[in-house]
Amino acid sequence: MKAGPALRDFVVIFSLSVVCSTACAAGATRDWNEYPAVLQLTTNEDVFAIGDPHGDLDRLTGVLLAAGLIATAPSAPDQVKWAGGKSVLVITGDLIDKGSDSLGVIALLRKLQSDAASRGGQVIISMGNHEAEFLAEPTGKKTRDFAAELKEAGLDPTDVANCNGDLGEFLCNLPIAVRVNNWFFSHGGNTKNRTIPELSAAIEAGFDKDGFASTELIGHNSILEARLNKKGPHGLPWFYNGDADTDPQKLLAKYAKKLGVGHLVQGHQPGKVKFPDKRNREEYTFFQRYGLLFLIDSGMSSGIEESDSMGGAMRIKNGNRAVVICANRTQKTLWERKTNFDHQTKECGEKP
């Protein structure tokens, strides 16, 4: 496995340190060289992606088991063992809120990250809008579930959001997006037709001005918050760029090319997504369109009461094939280069 320059000494990224001369929630400082906005990695190994665990430790564990990334369910989150060999796992954010055990999800993924590194694998945990919004406003309504959980555990939410302590340091240094080979992973998807250096510079500048409250992070059409429904620009998904006459395929291809990749993977929204030809994504499913856009938030958390999804992982094999592996052990190929399906969907319900 060869790491790009931005991932120098990436195997020790779990050992986080940050200096906050002022409150991270209000005027954060971050070493962008040590903790870049966009992590970049080149690998010959399989790549797995999981979106939006949202505080559901049990369902996240079930997905990891089905994907073969762990061999047995741990007795406690910090006892988890990596079984994925040299594979790479990308978590596309929203570890917290909705479910009842955000701290358990974080503890499991952090331990899995360190154990994978010791065994030749890698676990990359990126930021979601819920993490960014908590760090921007720890007493806000949207992240009150996590704040309440912190208080119950004897932790001060504001102190954590100010990047203090082990947990605060971890959350404040999460990457905003990840490029692995020809695949680009982010929480909300919208890069606004920028190169990776341009995107990174915009995130850094916004952060240096407004901290985690930057519109580059949590603005309505940002990389962490952009919508795939009528809450997007002019009531349209972000890939229309606010114009109903836009061809989504052409826009997505343009954005991917600008990033220097072939595929965009995002979490953030599990709901229905409409396309002009009516080949729509149904809610709580894995979905790909044009071989360009891959939606991996299946509403796996039991905190989402209207969803019966048990969750799943997307496995990318040799960059040429993407397969969904559901927690219930069913599988389906979403995309493969030789056939280049226009669209595919997979529901990860409770029963096979």
What is the full per-residue pLDDT of the chain (352 aa) written as tens digits? 434 433 333 333 333 333 333 334 454 678 999 999 999 999 999 999 999 999 999 999 999 999 999 999 999 999 999 999 999 999 999 999 999 999 999 999 999 999 999 999 999 999 999 999 999 999 999 999 999 999 999 999 999 999 999 999 999 999 999 999 999 999 999 999 999 999 999 999 999 999 999 999 999 999 999 999 999 999 999 999 999 999 999 999 999 999 999 999 999 999 999 999 999 999 999 999 999 999 999 999 999 989 999 999 999 999 999 999 999 999 999 999 999 899 999 999 876 5
Q: What is the distance between the alpha carbons of residues 259 and 222, in angstroms, rounded to a whole number? A: 16
Instruction: Report the domain count for the chain.
Output: 1
Structural domain contains residue 23: no
Structural domain contains residue 18: no
Q: Which CATH number belongs to the domain containing residue 203 in this structure?
A: 3.60.21.10
Structural domain contains residue 129: yes
Q: Which pLDDT value is given to residue 47?
A: 98
Q: What is the pTM of this model?
A: 0.92
Structural domain contains residue 322: yes
Q: Which pLDDT value is given to residue 352?
A: 57
Structural domain contains residue 17: no
Per-residue three-class SS string for 202-268: HHHHHHHHHHHHCHHHHCCCCCCCCCCCCCCHHHCCHHHCCCCCCCHHHHHHHHHHHHCCCEEEECC
For the chain, counts of helices (H) and of strands (E): 10, 14
Q: Where are the alpha helices (DSSP H) in the chain?
A: 24-27, 57-66, 102-118, 129-136, 144-152, 157-161, 165-172, 196-210, 215-218, 248-259
Structural domain contains residue 302: yes
Q: Which pLDDT value is given to residue 30?
A: 87
Q: Name the β-bridge partners of 316.
A: 47, 322
Structural domain contains residue 189: yes
Structural domain contains residue 343: yes
Which domain does 282 fall in, by range?
2-11+32-347
